[in-house]
C-alpha cells in the first residue's frame, strides 16, 4: 500500500476489510505491506478512544510495514523529509510495532550530506537492528535522464535537489563489499532491468540490508517501468480506488 495511506484512513480500513473478506473466500495473498511515514501511527483514531491507527491496522491483520526513516538523527530526518516525519520517535515506535507482531522494514533515501557513506549506513543499520527492524532498505535517488517541455516547474525543483544530492551509488556498493561490517549476498535486476537490488548481511546483527537504484523515463513504451490501471471496489457503500501495476505489487491507494 503506497503513498501515506493513513491520510485517508476510512479508505484504507475499508480496503483492508475487503481484502480480509476475499481471504475468507479463498483468495491467496503472498504479501500485504503498508508503506507509512509513521507520523499518525500512535494517534488515536477518534478523540474519545484510546485505539490508535496502529492498533486498528493490527486488528485488520496487517503484519508487514515499510517505514520511511530518512536519517540517523532528527536533524537529518527533518532536512530530508520535513518536520512532521522528523519528529517521529522511532526509538519508541519501532519496538512498539514489533511488539504487536509487525515485521518492520525501514526505507531510507541515500543522499549526499545525509546518508552517504558506509560509516553512516552501518551506524543506521546497528540502530534499527537494535530496535527490532527486520530489513533495512536504502534507495538511491531516482535517475530521470529525459527532461523536456512536459517537465513541470515543481518537478524541476525536485529534480534539481536530487541531482545535487545523488551519491555515487556504484562506489558505495564497492565500499560496502570491502567493508568488514557487511557480507555481500546477491544482486538482481528489477523493473524491466531499469533498476537493481543488491543484498548484504550486516555481520554484527544478521540484519538483511538492501540497496536499490532505478532509472525511469527512458524505457520503451511497450515495457514501461511503471504503468497504472485504476479501478474501484465497493465496501459497504464506500468506493475505494485500487491501483494495479505490472510486477509483483498490488497497491491500494488511500
> What is the tens place of the pLDDT at every residue in 98-124?
999 999 999 999 999 999 999 999 999
Give the cell for residue 137: 532498505
pLDDT score recorded for residue 168: 95
Query: What pLDDT score does 161 carry?
Result: 85
Say what the pLDDT of residue 175 is.
98
Instruction: Tell me the C-alpha distance between 13 and 5, whole Å.
Output: 9
Per the model's pLDDT, the better-predicted residue between 230 and 107 turns out to be 107
The model's pTM: 0.81
- Judge contact between 227 and 236, C-beta under 8 A: no
Alpha-helical runs (H) found in the chain:
9-24, 53-59, 74-81, 83-86, 90-99, 118-131, 153-165, 169-178
Residue 207, phi then psi, degrees to nearest 5: -65, 140
pLDDT band for 247, please (50, 70, 90 cuts): very low
- Structure confidence at residue 151 (pLDDT): 65
Across 35-55, average pLDDT:
93
Report how many domains make up the chain.
Answer: 1
Beta bridge partners, 242, equal 231
pLDDT at residue 2 greater than cutoff 70: no
Nearest to 76 by CA among 67, 88, 94: 88
38-47: average pLDDT: 92
Can you tell me the distance from the alpha carbon of 232 to that of 191, in angstroms, rounded to the nearest whole number? 25
Lowest mean pLDDT among 91-105, 152-166, 180-194, 216-230: 216-230
**pLDDT per residue over 58-100, tens digit each?**
999 999 999 999 999 999 999 999 999 999 999 999 999 999 9
- Asked if 214 contacts 143 with a C-beta cutoff of 8 angstroms, the reply is yes
- CA nearest neighbour of 120 among 176, 201, 81, 68: 176
Range of the domain at 112: 5-251
Q: Report how far Cα 254 is from the mean position of its chain's Cα atoms.
A: 15
Q: Exposure pattern of 185-206 as b/e (b: 16+ CB <10 Å)?
A: eeeeeebeebbbbbbbebeebe
Amino acid at each position: 500500500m503506497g503513498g501515506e495511506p493513513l491520510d485517508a484512513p476510512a479508505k484504507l480500513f475499508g480496503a483492508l476489510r475487503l481484502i480480509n473478506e476475499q481471504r475468507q473466500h479463498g483468495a491467496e495473498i503472498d504479501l500485504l505491506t503498508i508503506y507509512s511515514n509513521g507520523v499518525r501511527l500512535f494517534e488515536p483514531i477518534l478523540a474519545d478512544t484510546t485505539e490508535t491507527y496502529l492498533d486498528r491496522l493490527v486488528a485488520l491483520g496487517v503484519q508487514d510495514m515499510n517505514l520511511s526513516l530518512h536519517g540517523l538523527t532528527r536533524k537529518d530526518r527533518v532536512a530530508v523529509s520535513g518536520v512532521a516525519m522528523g519528529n517521529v520517535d522511532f526509538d519508541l515506535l519501532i519496538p512498539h510495532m514489533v511488539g504487536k507482531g509487525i515485521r518492520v522494514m525501514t526505507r531510507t533515501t541515500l543522499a549526499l550530506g545525509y546518508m552517504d557513506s558506509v560509516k553512516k549506513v552501518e551506524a543506521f543499520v546497528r540502530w534499527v537492528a537494535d530496535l527490532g527492524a527486520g530489513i533495512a532498505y536504502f534507495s538511491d535517488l531516482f535517475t530521470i535522464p529525459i527532461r523536456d517541455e512536459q517537465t513541470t516547474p515543481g518537478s524541476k525543483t525536485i529534480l534539481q535537489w536530487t541531482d545535487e544530492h545523488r551519491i555515487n551509488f556504484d562506489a558505495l556498493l564497492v565500499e560496502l563489499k570491502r567493508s568488514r561490517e557487511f557480507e555481500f549476498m546477491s544482486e538482481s535486476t528489477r523493473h524491466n532491468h531499469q533498476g537493481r537490488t543488491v543484498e548484504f548481511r550486516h555481520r554484527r546483527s544478521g540484519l538483511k540490508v538492501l540497496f536499490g537504484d532505478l532509472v525511469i523515463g527512458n524505457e520503451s513504451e511497450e515495457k514501461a517501468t511503471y504503468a497504472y490501471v485504476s479501478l474501484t471496489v465497493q465496501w459497504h457503500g464506500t468506493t475505494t480506488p485500487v491501483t494495479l501495476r505490472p510486477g509483483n505489487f498490488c497497491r491500494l491507494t488511500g
